[in-house]
Amino acid sequence: MKRMLALACAMTLALTACSSGNTSQSNGSATQPPPSSSSVSSSRPDPAGSGDSSSEPADSEGTSSSRPGENQSAVLYIGMNGRFQEYPLELEGEITPGDLVAGISQLTGWNLDLADEITSGKGGMTVMFAETSALFQGPPDPQKDEFHVFDAGQLSQTILDSIQKTLQNWAVVSGLGDPASVDVYFCGPDGGDLVLENIGVTIPCTEPYSGFPSQT
């Protein structure tokens, strides 16, 4: 009888030990920490990089409103004594006063070399002509038929009137101001008065250009 009780107790202890071991293994697997969300997301491929064209740099650049290659437009005025013909000018990028003078030169064939960049100040703009310009060297030979001039006086007045008119209208937004309110000053190569000895005319650099003076 004692042996049977002892055997029963031994079997009970053995079963209890087995059950305790299984429980501890189950609890151990259940308490393992899950992978962190950061490690999971960093290992995933970017959906935008798997064929989504909207994420490509070329597309984002193509929709930019300030592309460097965008054309800008302006109007060149050629004439004198208040009578002018208008010619459209289109250039890539921002248009400057120097571009306008260069555009007049290319259009007409007149040499309009400048001694310095066109500057702003004194309530307007200052244009300084170089000694190589047509004001000192005369018209090209041959001349373009559309822009033919008959003497140095007509050439000089047409150059100055045209540049003044073009710069004034470029500087003022249409409908928002008076182009005539923009002062334009003309200077010689040394920054002083524009002296045209061949026709006896001097344009003072300290006063805004108000029209071509009478020739002496």
* Per-residue tens of pLDDT for the chain, all 216 residues: 444 444 444 444 444 444 444 443 444 444 333 333 333 322 222 333 333 333 333 333 333 333 566 889 999 999 999 999 999 999 999 999 999 999 999 999 999 999 999 998 767 999 999 999 999 999 999 999 999 999 999 999 999 999 999 999 999 887 788 999 999 999 999 999 999 999 999 999 999 999 999 875
Q: In the structure encoding, which two tokens stand for residue 108, read together?
A: 């007409």
Q: Is residue 194 a contact partner of residue 129, using CB atoms and an 8 Å limit?
A: yes
Question: Tokens 């009888």 sit at which residue?
Answer: 1
Which structure tokens are listed for 119?
């500057």
Rounded CA separation 135/129 (Å): 8
CA separation for the pair 168, 179 (Å, rounded): 5
Q: What is the spatial distance between Cα 153 and Cα 138, in angstroms, rounded to a whole number?
A: 10
DSSP state of 114: B
pLDDT reported for residue 59: 35
Structure tokens, 2: 């004692």
Cα(62)–Cα(139) distance, integer angstroms: 45
CA dihedral 157, 162, 165, 167 (to 10 degrees): -120
